[in-house]
């Protein structure tokens, strides 16, 4: 049996394009930043290749799009489905688009705008982390979200998405979903999709403007999985 029937529901994760803080690695949660010109091009180029009729992300197969309310995520959504799509005549009606705080970036609290090295140095100066270095997956953020708070909102969202897709595991209806959000929260989403604890080591990389694909093995809602590689739709 193949890993995926072509009609098995999928969840596409789209990371926003480059911002000024993305370039230098600063933690960017609630700060509102625009995409850079390069970031806009990143997403537009992705859309031209992957979004459109008969392409990997076919708007006709989408039952919904979940978008972080942050400006950079909304600009990415617009480039994916309004400006950069290979089939601009295909538009996403507003009823299928949901802005939700459930998929906004991790609330970094006191660490907003800092580099990892700066956070660890500050904590060390204050006598913290004597036994091991700070790890966001275990320790969360001072003045921001804990890992448990992030897990709870992601689990709620994943449950809602799977409730939508569960009745259609064999292609009875097209129910693909796109989630447009941020680098760290999308990697956290993958862990919870796979039912892993957030602090489980799972090195992941997701470039600005990138697309990841989740689905289900054996067309089974209880076997959520991810693609380590997949073939693109064949040209007719």
**What pTM does this model have?**
0.92
Q: Residues annotated as binding site for substrate?
A: 28-29, 72, 105-108
Q: Residues annotated as binding site?
A: 28-29, 72, 105-108
- As assigned by CATH, the class of the 11-109+145-226 domain is alpha beta
Q: Annotated active-site positions, please?
A: 16, 105
Structure confidence at residue 229 (pLDDT): 85
| Per-domain residue ranges of the chain | 11-109+145-226
pLDDT along the chain (236 residues), means of 10: 65 97 93 96 93 91 96 95 62 85 96 95 93 94 97 97 96 95 98 97 94 95 92 72
Q: Tell me how far the alpha carbon of residue 126 is from its chain's centroid.
A: 34
Task: Determine how β-strand 176-181 pairs with β-strand 62-67.
Answer: parallel
Structure confidence at residue 1 (pLDDT): 33
């Amino acid at each position: 049996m193949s890993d995926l029937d072509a009609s098995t529901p999928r969840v596409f994760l789209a990371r926003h394009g480059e911002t000024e803080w993305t370039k230098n690695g600063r933690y960017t949660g609630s700060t509102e930043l625009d995409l850079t010109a390069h970031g806009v091009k990143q997403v537009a180029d992705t859309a031209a290749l992957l979004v459109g009729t008969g392409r990997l992300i076919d708007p006709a197969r989408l039952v919904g799009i979940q978008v972080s309310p942050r400006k950079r995520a909304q600009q990415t959504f617009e480039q994916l489905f309004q400006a950069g799509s290979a089939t601009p005549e295909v538009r996403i009606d507003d009823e299928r688009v949901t802005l939700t705080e459930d998929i906004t970036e991790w609330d970094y609290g006191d660490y907003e705008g800092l580099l990892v090295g700066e956070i660890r140095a500050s904590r060390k100066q204050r006598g913290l982390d004597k036994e091991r270095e700070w790890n966001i997956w275990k320790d969360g953020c001072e003045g921001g979200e804990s890992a448990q708070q992030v897990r709870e909102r992601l689990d709620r969202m994943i449950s809602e998405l799977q409730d939508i897709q569960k009745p259609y595991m064999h292609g009875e209806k097209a129910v693909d979903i796109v989630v447009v959000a941020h680098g760290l929260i999308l990697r956290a989403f993958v862990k919870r999709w796979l039912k892993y604890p957030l602090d489980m080591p799972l090195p992941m990389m997701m470039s600005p403007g990138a697309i990841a694909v989740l689905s289900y093995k054996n067309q089974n809602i209880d076997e959520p999985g991810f693609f380590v590689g997949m073939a693109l739709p064949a040209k007719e």
